[in-house]
Structure 1
């Protein structure tokens, strides 16, 4: 489950110590200096996924250090991959410097000293003394044991404190996956969260391997699961396209149609066409449940989910949810419980 903490009830003189404690538990012990303790605000959430942890941070202007002394006192031996979502920050480690803004990512190591702060990267001559600029920074971090990242350690070290782009491709898929955890992790049972953790480990490892041009060094099973996740994101982004077909999906991912079918049957337990149809109907159901001003027209809902005919959409919706789209919308508008389960989940 997500655990949440914030400075809301913390007196200003205690906020630096509070934040140091939060970071120590989520990542590793650090030393922190706040620009203005009275105006400093911060919040964090942490999700335990078994082997991995995910944490979100929002915080005001600060400077932090992980020193050799702190490392000697205790080291969880973690890699952390931070995905920036708001404002800017910088980090220095292993003679590398990274200046980061929204859409960037950075990898750092709890076993090595580092220095970090909000705002742009300061001049080396003033580092450690210049006050960081104000502004709330937001990031999502994936924390994993060093040994879980099954790539040559010397190669991974070259990436520490380097700005990595997470705005497109595998980085964007990883970011979307992590963001979805904030919305849906509470819906998952403990064993499901462990499976989510394994999927996140695969995506994180693949993203790091991509930066090293070492994707072929990944285990075949990892490559298969990452390919499946990329295909699933591709499908979700193109549900409105009536031309979304298994042939198109296979061609865009440079695999044979037979390989695509086998991948879905082994991993999803349903055909590619059934998966597309299920997602379209789930999207329509969610849209039809919206009521009040601005609620989309039923025909618009169908078109935005890739249905080319109102009749086809109505039949498909009724076959799964037991009511027509119009009846479903009427129940939602009246505030009555709407049908939530399908008659046939395999389609």
Structure 2
């Protein structure tokens, strides 16, 4: 088994681009120019006389590029001439979030629904259309990196995989969640490139993938999604990601922890963030505990103190005092 060395979480900030505020007659040209430099070169045209409204968030990792794309109705094309002029030398994964899309390829036409991912070689000519607009996530993987991770030297035909329903393809589901978190407009989350590549290998069925790392990432994503549920258990998590409970325990044990310990740690981390967040200042300590899946405020308080060495009330008081001091300093 070939293992991909984990890399540090990305430190580069997302780069955003939007056609908003640009001259109407220049929007398509500038959108094409941006995509040619930041993502994949495409020809674009609108379906009606309506002005193109489009926006993109790009995150460049060491080897992989991530993006979130939004737009009104339009069609994009990547023909042979454009491929020759601007080769991408990459495999692209498109995760549809909003809007039905068609994908025209030399082997036929596919219709992509929200919750489906399409994977293709970006240098095989294609056309895509979004009659009602779109929002999608994109992962662009250099062809040599893709081959290293998956063992697949050439993607001859597009592959469509469902990623919305938990358990249908937990690796695609987790990959979409991580890419989505990394490309948010506000408060994007760091992402580990090694984990993304392990998930990519796992969803393609590669025997080169570190399935333990991919399973652990899928399980952790499931935990974060269901953290508020008081009854969240190892059995539920295992079923959600398609593992046996025993195997799930081994997956976490290899990382030096256990399923209950990880769930508790994540609940405490989320609670700690809430306690210092101004938007949650009106919540009582008991409400914070309940929001994070604790059934007992007393249990939450004791676990919090044991984990952080101070009471939840003291942390909130200190955070409130710091905000007050900052406002006072700003006014003076």
Q: Give the TM-score category using the shorter length.
A: 0.7 to 0.9
Matched positions, count: 304
1:82 aligns to 2:70 (yes or no): no
Of the candidates 202, 221, 226, which is equivalent to residue 206 of structure 1?
202
Q: Which residue of 2 aligns with 1:263?
A: 251
Asked if structure 1 preserves the Cα contact closer than 8 Å seen for 2:41 and 2:78, the reply is yes
Alignment CA distance shift 1:34-1:337 (3 Å): same
Output the TM-score relative to the length of structure 1. 0.75
Alignment CA distance shift 1:136-1:332 (3 Å): farther
1:227 aligns to 2:215 (yes or no): yes
1:111 aligns to 2:123 (yes or no): yes
Of the candidates 58, 83, 90, which is equivalent to residue 46 of structure 1?
58
Structure 1 unpaired stretches of 5+? 120-134, 210-214, 339-347
Give the Cα–Cα distance (whole angstroms) in 1 for the partners of residues 55 and 239 of structure 2.
Answer: 44
Deviation sequence 1:30-78 (CA, Å, 0-9, x none): 2222345762121112111111100111122222221112222241221
Q: What is the RMSD of the two structures over their aligned residues, measured on CA atoms?
A: 3.2
Give the Cα–Cα distance (whole angstroms) in 1 for the partners of residues 28 and 235 of structure 2.
Answer: 56
Q: Which residue of 2 aligns with 1:212?
A: none
Of the candidates 257, 265, 274, which is equivalent to residue 278 of structure 1?
265
Structure 2 unpaired stretches of 5+? 1-11, 326-332
1:301 aligns to 2:288 (yes or no): yes
Deviation sequence 1:279-338 (CA, Å, 0-9, x none): 111122233345568944322332343334322211221233343233334444556489
1:15 aligns to 2:3 (yes or no): no
Deviation at 1:255, TM superposition (A): 4.6
1:326 aligns to 2:313 (yes or no): yes
1:175 aligns to 2:176 (yes or no): yes
Deviation at 1:198, TM superposition (A): 1.9
1:145 aligns to 2:133 (yes or no): no
Asked if structure 2 preserves the Cα contact closer than 8 Å seen for 1:26 and 1:55, the reply is no
Alignment CA distance shift 1:251-1:175 (3 Å): closer
Give the Cα–Cα distance (whole angstroms) in 1 for the partners of residues 232 and 243 of structure 2.
Answer: 16
Give the Cα–Cα distance (whole angstroms) in 2 for the partners of residues 83 and 139 of structure 1.
Answer: 5
Q: Which structure is higher in RCO with an 8 Å CA cutoff and minimum separation 6? A: 2
Q: Which residue of 2 aligns with 1:236?
A: 224
Q: Which residue of 1 aligns with 2:76?
A: 64
Q: SS at 1:157's partner residue?
A: coil
